[in-house]
Amino acid sequence: MNTLMQSVIFEGIGIHSGKKVKMVVGPSREEGISFELNQQDVLVELSAIGINHIRSTTLTNGSITIQTPEHFLAACYALELNHISVQLDSEELPILDGSSIDFINKLNPHLKKINSKDKEKLTICTDVEFKISNSHYFVFPSDKLKISVFLSYPDHWIKSMKFYYEHSKEAFIQSIASARTYGFTHEIEALKAQGLAKGGSLDNALIVSDDGYLNDPRYEDELARHKILDFIGDMSICGKEACGHFVLIRPSHLGNCELLKKLI
């Protein structure tokens, strides 16, 4: 496992609030990852998963709720980063460019190997099928983390998209970390009416219109790659190293978190 040699600062826009937010990531004596806001701690653990999963994951201690931690947590999982405390000045993390790559690039040079017990494994021992809303999951035993994702938008020009991934730090950095969150133009007004996505822009999301992308995709299958990034961030909440082949069909944050609860 790794921790940090020094604190690392991130500043940017909160995608929901549209306001400038700041986070300071530093080493901690305590095992795990915790968020601190207004002198209250929210531990990254299964029991902290919130109930509002509209376009992001939430973590709560019952008094405060932390929004959009999944891109940061995915980076921490890939870097095997533990024993850290994150100080926030807002209830949401900065969205940065909508992916994990900025977290990776700033944290990676400051990693420090620590002596700690081996990370507990979330090992899949039997086939599992799980469905919630429009999301469908199949999970199979494997000696490593493998993820296959399938997206389906039959009434849209995207139609379908897929990507297969075998996890390692190098694979995450090269093929997943730069994949940005995405949104459809027809969804934007509805989200804003709910008080969400006020900070969403072409600078921090891949925007999909009825005719094509409004900004240039980084990969032809960027949407599918980002779904894997989200899934890794959500699954990391349990604090365990996942070993299994996860097949995701139209995955969502709600589906990811409910699947994690079922597996644990």
CATH number for 52: 3.30.230.20
Which residue of the set 16, 83, 226, 253 is catalytic? 253
Point out the domain boundary residue: 94, 113, 132: 113
Model confidence at 143, in pLDDT bands (50, 70, 90)? very high
Number of domains present in the structure of the chain: 2
Find the CATH number of the domain harbouring 171.
Answer: 3.30.1700.10
Phi, psi of 56, deg, nearest 5: -165, 170
Instruction: Using the 3D structure, point to which of 92, 113, 134 is the last residue of a domain.
Output: 113
Domain end residue (candidates: 113, 136, 166): 113
Whether residue 177 sits in one domain with residue 78 = no
Pick from 15-19, 110-114, 193-197 the range whose average pLDDT is largest: 110-114
> Which of 13-27, 69-83, 197-211 is the least confident region?
197-211
Residues 22 and 151 in one domain: no
Q: Say whether both 144 and 171 belong to one domain.
A: yes
253 is catalytic: yes
Does 197 score more than 90 pLDDT?
no
Domain span including residue 163: 121-263
> Do 168 and 90 share a structural domain?
no
On whether both 170 and 248 belong to a single domain, the answer is yes
**Do residue 145 and residue 256 come from a single domain?**
yes
Model pTM? Answer: 0.95
Instruction: Tell me: do 234 and 104 sit in the same domain.
Output: no
Q: Are residues 257 and 128 in the same domain?
A: yes
Examine the domain organization and report whether 154 and 236 are in the same domain: yes
| Domain identity same for 217 and 237 | yes
Share of the chain above pLDDT 90, in %: 86
Same domain for 89 and 126, yes or no, is no
Residues 86 and 185 in one domain: no
